[in-house]
A and B are shown apart, each in its own frame.
Chain A
Amino acid sequence: GQQLNQSPQSMFIQEGEDVSMNCTSSSIFNTWLWYKQDPGEGPVLLIALYKAGELTSNGRLTAQFGITRKDSFLNISASIPSDVGIYFCAGLFLAQGGSEKLVFGKGTKLTVNP
């Protein structure tokens, strides 16, 4: 089935640095979603991307839907301590039978040192 390769698995950065993470696949996706999960909480949607090539920002976050529809990246600029958490990418694809299904990457764990 469809799989997403999310990297890096973890990142340790200093406050103020920029961060970049990405998800790649050998399969085509119709929608890319980026979520953030705080410890012990459910994931919260950060950015949704619906069209190949789309570049969308949400405050200090920017995400792009790859032109091949097989990848997406998320950038965080000028990181702050509250950016700590696990970031998940998720892709919607057309499954057999014509329904759309969602698959998740394994997450990027971000640690920000003050």
Chain B
Amino acid sequence: DGGITQSPKYLFRKEGQNVTLSCEQNLNHDAMYWYRQDPGQGLRLIYYSQIVNDFQKGDIAEGYSVSREKKESFPLTVTSAQKNPTAFYLCASSIDQAGGYTDTQYFGPGTRLTVL
């Protein structure tokens, strides 16, 4: 089946540790995104990547890092510099059409990170 997978579903870490969240897609989508969701808030963009080996900061990139070495994979690292890392993290992907126009974004199931 085609889709986006995120693992693990639940993740617990001690304060001060870096942690990497996985996101994989087999939809052959060019663009991938990471969002953070907090209770009562909309989705806030952390980082996005429109092509392999290139990525851009979103609205709340501080304390996070990403890589895009393969088209299918866009891992997110939550570093110890992130002041309030406990949240629900969502990965998404979309076809990135020519001219910078993006298509509808499809989401993975999410990873709930709790930092103790």
Contacts and interface: CB of A to CB of B under 8 A. Distances in A.
Contact of A98 (B90, B99, B105): B99
Contacts, number: 53
Interface stretch (B11-19, B37-45, B71-79): B37-45
Nearest to B56: A99
Interface residues of B, number: 23
B104 A43 contact: no
B55 to A, nearest CB: 14
A33 interface: yes
B4 to A, nearest CB: 8
A40 B110 contact: yes
Nearest to B102: A100
Interface in A22-47: 31, 33, 35, 40-45
A6 B43 CA distance: 13
Interface of B: 4, 6, 40-43, 45, 50, 88, 90, 92, 99-102, 104-110, 112
